């Protein structure tokens, strides 16, 4: 298996209460990319992805839109289950081409698109794909330029999806309106286990929507809302913690 930079996604996973060594997740994995590849032994409640699956390791490959468009045409020939496409300057045209291919090629289970140039307008094709492709479990979009409109568009796809397990939207620009749309779309979702929203721009209104989400029927095991641009009301944070504890959800919050 080719070596992959463990810092290429630029974001640390939260430290678990227990790990098989004295090192934290961030020390052993360094980022979500390493976390995805190396976390199979961590405690329940953290995303788990098997090692050794057929994968395309193309992070830091300078693909750009034109390169991804060309590469996507050959995707069906390989049977990949994981696509590592972080740090490639991918925008609307490239993601649209890939998403169109994934509507019919449904072998991919892990889609890693961190640290690209995905704006609100790039998400439409991805949302359309999620309406018909229920095989993708990992959707990793941290460190892009997704705001409220992009989150609302993504929610339109998620509400029809029956397979997502782990959604990583950390370090984008999602405010209250976007979080409200996502929380509404995820109500009663049959498979979602983890939701990483740290480093976004939402405040109390978005947090109240998340409180409503975890208070209802849910499969969630972990929600990460650290490092928001504005601190949440302490009383609301306490309510979130209480609701999460009652549901056995690990809430990671400052």
CB 147 within 8 A of CB 116: no
Whole-angstrom distance, CA of residue 186 vs CA of residue 190 = 9
Whole-angstrom distance, CA of residue 22 vs CA of residue 36 = 19
Predicted confidence (pLDDT) at residue 94 exceeds the cutoff of 60: yes
Q: What is the pLDDT of residues 31-66, one digit of tens each?
A: 554 554 444 333 444 455 556 788 898 999 999 999
Q: How many CB atoms lie within 10 A of CB 165?
A: 20
Q: Is residue 19 part of a domain?
A: no
CB 55 within 8 A of CB 1: yes
Q: Is residue 235 part of a domain?
A: yes
Q: What is the pLDDT of residue 52?
A: 75
Q: Is residue 162 part of a domain?
A: yes
Per-residue burial over 35-54, b = 16 or more CB atoms within 10 Å of its CB, e = otherwise: bbbbbeebeebbbbbeeeee
Q: What is the pLDDT of residue 49?
A: 56
Q: What is the pLDDT of residue 254?
A: 85
Q: Is residue 11 part of a domain?
A: no
Whole-angstrom distance, CA of residue 131 vs CA of residue 159 = 8
Whole-angstrom distance, CA of residue 172 vs CA of residue 142 = 6
Q: Is residue 3 part of a domain?
A: no
Q: What is the pLDDT of residue 196?
A: 94
CB 127 within 8 A of CB 100: no
Return the top range by mean pLDDT from 10-14, 23-27, 179-183: 179-183
Q: What is the pLDDT of residues 128-184, one digit of tens each?
A: 999 999 999 999 999 999 999 999 999 999 999 999 999 999 999 999 999 999 999
Q: Is residue 15 part of a domain?
A: no
Domain count, the chain: 1
Q: Is residue 8 part of a domain?
A: no
Q: Is residue 147 part of a domain?
A: yes
Q: What is the pLDDT of residue 34?
A: 52
Mean pLDDT of 202-224: 96
Q: 47 lies in which domain range?
A: 25-252
How confident is residue 226, by pLDDT bands cut at 50, 70 and 90? very high
CATH of residue 243: 3.80.10.10
Predicted confidence (pLDDT) at residue 84 exceeds the cutoff of 60: yes
Residue 151's nearest CA partner among 183, 179, 129, 118 is 179
Whole-angstrom distance, CA of residue 203 vs CA of residue 200 = 9
């Amino acid at each position: 298996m080719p070596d992959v930079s463990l810092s290429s996604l630029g974001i640390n996973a939260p430290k678990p209460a227990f790990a098989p060594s004295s090192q934290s997740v961030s020390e052993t994995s360094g980022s979500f990319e390493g976390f995805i590849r190396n976390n199979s032994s961590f405690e329940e409640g953290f995303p788990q992805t098997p090692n050794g699956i057929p994968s395309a390791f193309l992070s830091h490959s300078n693909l750009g839109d034109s390169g991804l468009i060309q590469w996507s045409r050959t995707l069906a020939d390989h049977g990949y289950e994981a696509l590592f496409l972080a740090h490639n300057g991918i925008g609307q045209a490239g993601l649209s081409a890939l998403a169109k291919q994934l509507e019919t090629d449904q072998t991919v289970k892990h889609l890693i698109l961190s640290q690209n140039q995905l704006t609100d307008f790039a998400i439409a094709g991805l949302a359309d794909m999620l309406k018909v492709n229920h095989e993708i479990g990992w959707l990793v979009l941290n460190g892009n330029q997704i705001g409220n409109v992009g989150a609302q568009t993504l929610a339109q796809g998620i509400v029809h999806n029956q397979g997502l397990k782990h959604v990583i939207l950390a370090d984008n620009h999602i405010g209250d309106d976007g979080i409200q749309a996502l929380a509404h779309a995820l109500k009663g979702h049959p498979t979602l286990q983890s939701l990483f929203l740290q480093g976004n721009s939402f405040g109390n209104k978005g947090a109240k929507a998340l409180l409503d989400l975890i208070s209802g029927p849910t499969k969630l095991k972990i929600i990460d809302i650290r490092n928001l641009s504005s601190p949440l009301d302490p009383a609301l944070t306490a309510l979130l913690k209480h609701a999460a504890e009652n549901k056995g959800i690990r809430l990671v919050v400052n």
